[in-house]
Chain A
């Protein structure tokens, strides 16, 4: 290990810590595809993270992010630098370490690291992702033209949605940074891809956040919450050919299914009063039963009209977002809301960037003293 820093002088090398058994992950993918038939999109599924697992998916994701027909992600990346600047007042003082959970293409990480670097406050950069290919891509993009020493970059391949993994990640981060403050980030509406999003946020806050740390969360937001808004949200995803390639890339990788892009549908639903839920599903529209061969060579029946959920996403209402933060025991210390592209006759969707800290770290609000009353005093 002592000899590695000299090797890292060559930018072609990347050191990556693998935090869990990858064969176990493959078993997880196949388990998700073994669920029974369900035409509503709640049966077979490719769970979050595995959509990006593998080189093919990584490349497809990078293409989707630059697709002119998929402006949401492009605008999210383009405006991130401006939105992040509005948030910098809420950062703790001194050098900051940055842990990026699901770094994506690395462009947002670069905006954040560039800010820290320009102020001489950069510490360690620890991108964490389930996909090694994604990590390599993100790291290269994030560190371009920056002066972060190779020894301060520590990519970790790990599924951060599992409690045991978080414990181990927490230990690693504590060893690397000591008591110095850390900024964690979960950007690009990644949180919405999980079935139990609130539980995941609560888990991350509980396991990772100390009083001196901050958590940067980016989620998609919606002003309206009716059937029309849900349909419009689904259309956003449907319009992009690159996005369709991306969501089906995992299916191509883990099954022998002959992909028909016309069998891909995006369904918008209203999820209580908290969010619009978007399911991207692949439906068997061949008119007859099919059989899927999985990576372990076993076969699974795929009857007519049965579905495989390829992606889950949400757009949160302001009330739903507030409730999720309360339930996850985190408090806001800063926020920006960006209303994205929206025609006058369509619902306004946007992006919310929130700077959070652990609710336990927030000082108790002072008891409210009523102000002077001119008709009483």
Chain B
């Protein structure tokens, strides 16, 4: 088991396909050397079974992987749209300088991002950029949500003067701050999904054809 676990999935795939191709070649050769029509049935049947094995397994696996990616992309784009709406919503509007008040902020959702990362739907080569960006996005959302927790605790546990409420709001919105960084990552993710996966059914329709993001 220790020796087997050292080889990658690609190695086993190559070994399997090589064996099947070799067996197919043997069947073809067997047909040419067989004498009599009756004796050709067996290599032909074996050859057809091998062709079915080669094409069927490979194609089914590719189709299943494609379906998983499509589902993950739907969920990701839906989540991105939902987060953009939350950021553009009433709860994240700037405080009224004359009457600031303590707020309960809605949290940004990240369940689809988490599920996508652990599902391995984008584990095949070619999706490295998306996976790296999803990791950064997930960390940024987690960090932002935690700071919202702290802001609520600060403003609800004790009486906080108006100037501190305004200071928290101003710090959240400052250029280069957490909200700014989060919005930039969301835009990057949105751009990547639209450019790289826009042809997938439903993605471009959900994100909209290059429409300005409502959260900015």
Interface residue? A372 (CB, 8 A): yes
Interface residue? B172 (CB, 8 A): yes
Partner of A376, one of B148, B160, B171, B179: B171
Q: Using Cβ atoms and an 8 Å threshold, which residues of chain B touch A370?
A: 163-164, 167
Interface residue? A373 (CB, 8 A): yes
Partner of A375, one of B147, B160, B161: B147
Determine if B160 and A374 form an interchain contact, defined as CB atoms under 8 angstroms apart.
no
- Cβ distance A200 to chain B, nearest Cβ, rounded Å: 34
Interface residue? B192 (CB, 8 A): no
Main secondary structure of the interface of B (DSSP, over half): helix
Determine if B151 and A374 form an interchain contact, defined as CB atoms under 8 angstroms apart.
yes
Q: Using Cβ atoms and an 8 Å threshold, which residues of chain B touch A368?
A: 161
- Cβ distance B163 to chain A, nearest Cβ, rounded Å: 8
Residues of B136-153 whose CB lies within 8 A of A = 147-148, 150-151
A371 to B167 Cα, complex, angstroms: 10
A375 to B148 Cα, complex, angstroms: 8
Interface residue? B177 (CB, 8 A): yes
- Cβ distance A366 to chain B, nearest Cβ, rounded Å: 14
Determine if B154 and A371 form an interchain contact, defined as CB atoms under 8 angstroms apart.
yes
Interface size counted on chain A using CB atoms at 8 A = 8
A372 to B160 Cα, complex, angstroms: 11
A86 to B89 Cα, complex, angstroms: 45
Interface residue? B84 (CB, 8 A): no
- Cβ distance A55 to chain B, nearest Cβ, rounded Å: 53
A321 to B168 Cα, complex, angstroms: 34
Q: Using Cβ atoms and an 8 Å threshold, which residues of chain A touch B179?
A: 375
- Cβ distance A113 to chain B, nearest Cβ, rounded Å: 36
Q: Using Cβ atoms and an 8 Å threshold, which residues of chain A touch B46?
A: none
- Cβ distance A206 to chain B, nearest Cβ, rounded Å: 32
Interface residues of B (CB under 8 A from A): 147-148, 150-151, 154, 160-161, 163-164, 167-168, 171-172, 174, 177-179
User: Given A373-B167, A375-B178, 17 other A-B contacts at CB below 8 A?
Assistant: A370-B163, A370-B167, A371-B154, A371-B160, A371-B164, A373-B168, A373-B171, A374-B148, A374-B150, A374-B151, A374-B168, A375-B151, A375-B171, A375-B177, A375-B179, A376-B167, A376-B168
